[in-house]
Amino acid sequence: MSSGRAARFLDLLGAGREEAPAISAPGAKPLTHGGLRGLAAETVAALNAVGIGRNDRVAIVLPNGPEMAAAFLGVGAGATTAPLNPAYRGEEFRFYLADLRAKALVVAAGEDGPARGAAAEIGVPVIELRATPERGAGAFTLDTTALPSGPPAQGGPAEAGDIALVLHTSGTTSRPKIVPLSQANVAASARNIVAAVALTASDRCLNIMPLFHIHGLIAAVTASLAAGGEVVCTPGFNALKFFGWLGEARPTWYTAVPTMHQAILARADRNAETIARVRLRLIRSSSASLPPQVMAELEKVFGAPVIESYGMTEAAHQMTSNPLPPRARKAGSVGLAAGPEVDVMSADGDLLPRGTVGEVVIRGANVTAGYEANPAANAAAFSGGWFRTGDQGVIDAEGYLRITGRLKELINRGGEKVSPLEVDEVLMDHPAVAQVVTFALVHPKLGEEVAAAVVLREGMALTEPELRDFAKARLADFKVPRRIVFVAEIPKGNTGKLQRIGLADKLGLTETLP
């Protein structure tokens, strides 16, 4: 699908009619496609004037909303965007900003949180973003006075091979790895999503996904604009406000993770009138497995098809998707290849016949060329030109993929990914902790929740709340183990090695958390 035609953010931004709304927000005046193009050009010029150009990294820490969406696109038009989760603690920001080699950090004017503090400590200059909603939702000006003026090594609009976006992905054997995604990767992925759910200029997406994660950035924001349509940017998911936004914005679709769909369903009854008024064309689900019961109930309540799709940061999001009606969508399946080629491979690197379980592999224009400065991770991840996803699956006779398990150790907490090793490292810093293994515990709503088994140093005492408080000071809330068990010894697998996968069972922690 992704031909060589246009392959940059800027080309995607060219799709919409000048006066058509591009970015909006509840209660705000929309920014038009023409306005967004102007804003992107202004942003590139403002960055270029202070020496930031193509392939220079600009970290962005902004609250979810229209400015975040617009800053992502504007910075990405001429440099490399690196959106970071605003919930990170100072220590996390120091790690990410240094690891990224960020040339600047964009924060909201007046913001004085841990990101700014971390930037000051490691000498990353701060650019302040001031919202100018009178020009339309998401519009802004940049205060770049903290940077010396002077030309960048390479200025002007980014080229197809330039890196548009870098995100960290939770690693199995190391700290989070950097995933560089080129302009061409991002453009191909946005187009794949446009094709999969047949987006047009008449579509309006209600964005409730975080805008530091690939799902919201590409499926909700970039794909909507690439179709010439509109994205309504909320401050982030809030089950109490969702139906108000739905009634006001009257979107044609939204995309979310299964836990959000469940929270929406829990409040659907009392919002029946709004649901009847807003006719959704489709509901999309991705980033974690959608229970078939949730899919069936959503379809019944909203009277719209629920399209489950399978995505990953390294693929600039979408890999497979269930098709729209009249073609069949299969509950429990993540659908058909929807952009990249998708196959299943043995541990030895052989492609397996249909119906055989193996590791899901992908290749295509949307797939990253490789992790940054990490030859070991790349050697493990690429096999014969295919990228190994670390997910296990099986493709049926009709080409539908079902995810059956996971070979990688990350914890999928309702779509939020946690690297167990990162949590181990933080807990190990506590003076009373001798050994720790962080692992996934089954959770009824989130799918998985973070848990840790801890061996204390001899003669030392520590309570679960004390260790959790210690972790909270260093880790964003979603990474803090909800359950910590103290054990005399951590059970080992058959090989004598510590194994995270299956550890919950070995510890007898099969019961779900409330």
Classify each residue of 49-80 as buried b or exposed e, where b means 16 or more C-beta atoms within 10 Å of its C-beta: bbbbbbbbbbbbbbebbbbbbbbbbbbbbbbb
* Site stretch for ligand AMP (CB under 6 A), options 238-246, 276-284, 386-394, 506-514: 386-394
Residue 260 or 454: which CB sits closer to ligand AMP? 260
Residue 81 has φ and ψ, to the nearest 5°, of -90, 145
> What would you measure as the largest C-alpha separation in the chain, in angstroms?
70
* Binding of ligand AMP by 412 (CB under 6 A): yes
**Binding-site member from 2, 185, 286, 321 for ligand AMP (CB under 6 A):** 286
**Binding-site member from 311, 323, 339, 370 for ligand AMP (CB under 6 A):** 311
* Binding of ligand AMP by 216 (CB under 6 A): no
**Binding-site member from 47, 84, 214, 381 for ligand AMP (CB under 6 A):** 214
Cα–Cα distance for residue pair 25/31, rounded to 1 Å: 9
Cβ of residue 58: shortest distance to ligand AMP, in angstroms?
A: 21
* Binding of ligand AMP by 84 (CB under 6 A): no
Ordered strands of the 80-83 beta sheet: 140-143, 126-131, 104-108, 57-61, 80-83, 163-169, 177-182
Q: Which two tokens stand for residue 227?
A: 């179709």
Tell me which residue of 296, 267, 270 sits closest to 283, measured CA to CA: 296
Binding mask 334-353 vs ligand AMP (x if CB under 6 A, - otherwise)? x-------------------
Cβ of residue 210: shortest distance to ligand AMP, in angstroms?
A: 10
Tell me which residue of 125, 142, 135 sits closest to 43, measured CA to CA: 142
User: Under rule CB under 6 A, which residues in 157-176 are in contact with ligand AMP?
Assistant: 169
Residue 126 or 295: which CB sits closer to ligand AMP? 295
Cα–Cα distance for residue pair 288/482, rounded to 1 Å: 19
Residue showing the smallest CB distance to ligand AMP in the complex: 313
* Binding of ligand AMP by 289 (CB under 6 A): yes
DSSP state string for 82-137: EE--TT--HHHHHHHHHHHT-SEEEEETT--SHHHHHHHHHTPPEEEEEE-GGG-T
Length of the chain: 514
Residue 24 or 222: which CB sits closer to ligand AMP? 222
* Site stretch for ligand AMP (CB under 6 A), options 60-68, 241-249, 281-289, 494-502: 281-289
Going from the C-alpha of 451 to that of each of 170, 405, 428, 448, 486, the distances in angstroms are: 16, 19, 14, 9, 11
> Within a 13 Å sphere around the CA of 24, how many CA atoms are in the beta-carbon half?
22
* Site stretch for ligand AMP (CB under 6 A), options 27-35, 55-63, 304-312, 427-435: 304-312
Cα–Cα distance for residue pair 197/321, rounded to 1 Å: 9
* Binding of ligand AMP by 403 (CB under 6 A): yes
Cβ of residue 432: shortest distance to ligand AMP, in angstroms?
A: 33
* Binding of ligand AMP by 182 (CB under 6 A): no
Cα–Cα distance for residue pair 118/474, rounded to 1 Å: 13
User: Under rule CB under 6 A, which residues in 15-54 are in contact with ligand AMP?
Assistant: none
User: Under rule CB under 6 A, which residues in 61-80 are in contact with ligand AMP?
Assistant: none
* Binding of ligand AMP by 406 (CB under 6 A): yes
* Binding of ligand AMP by 288 (CB under 6 A): yes
Cα–Cα distance for residue pair 238/23, rounded to 1 Å: 20
* Binding of ligand AMP by 318 (CB under 6 A): no
* Binding of ligand AMP by 391 (CB under 6 A): yes
**Binding-site member from 37, 417, 443, 474 for ligand AMP (CB under 6 A):** 417
* Site stretch for ligand AMP (CB under 6 A), options 132-140, 311-319, 482-490, 504-512: 311-319
Q: Which two tokens stand for residue 443?
A: 């959770």
* Site stretch for ligand AMP (CB under 6 A), options 82-90, 152-160, 242-250, 285-293: 285-293
Cβ of residue 330: shortest distance to ligand AMP, in angstroms?
A: 12
Cα–Cα distance for residue pair 80/91, rounded to 1 Å: 23
Residue holding tokens 């299943």?
Answer: 344
Residue 453 has φ and ψ, to the nearest 5°, of -105, 130
Cβ of residue 446: shortest distance to ligand AMP, in angstroms?
A: 13
Q: What is the contact surface with ligand AMP in residues (CB under 6 A)?
A: 169, 214, 286-289, 308, 310-313, 334, 389-391, 403, 406, 412, 417
